Amino acid sequence: MSQGPQQSSHFKQAWVIFFILGIIMLNFPFIHIFNKDTTFLGFPLLILYLFIGWPTSILVVYLFARKIDNASGDQSGPGQGGEPE
């Protein structure tokens, strides 16, 4: 079975939201907020923001992609393009 048009639309909207949030996260206002002389555990805040925020965003996209893959795998039965038996 294929995904319904409404479910497909929701996935497309979620990818657009992830893309926009990624751009916002690496754009001027947020970079400026963390570009301070303050350090945390000896690391500048900007470096921590980038080294924690970037992998976190990758993890969120990875988990979302796995959820999509699992949802599409659950809908396909034997002989419908699922995993071989």
Does the residue 67 lie in any domain? yes
Q: Is residue 44 part of a domain?
A: yes
pLDDT tens per residue, range 16-34: 888 898 888 889 988 999 9
29 lies in a domain? no
Question: Quick check: is 12 in a domain?
Answer: no
Chain position carrying tokens 């925020």:
53
Distance CA 5, CA 62 (A): 23
pTM above 0.75, yes or no: no
Res 50: pLDDT: 92
State whether residue 43 is helix, strand or coil: strand
**Where in the sequence is the domain holding 68, given as residue range(s)?**
39-72
Identify any residues that bridge with 71 across adjacent strands, giving them in sequence order.
none
Could you tell me if residue 66 is inside a domain?
A: yes
Does residue 17 belong to any structural domain of this protein? no
In our burial notation (b when 16+ CB lie closer than 10 A, e otherwise), range 33-71 reads eeeeeeeeeeeeebeebeeeeeeeeeeebeeeeeeeeee
The pLDDT of residue 10 is: 78
Q: What is the mean pLDDT of residues 21-49?
A: 91
- Domain membership of residue 55 (yes or no) is yes
Q: Give the tens place of pLDDT for each residue, 55-80.
A: 988 898 888 888 887 877 766 555 55
Q: Structural domain tally of the chain?
A: 1
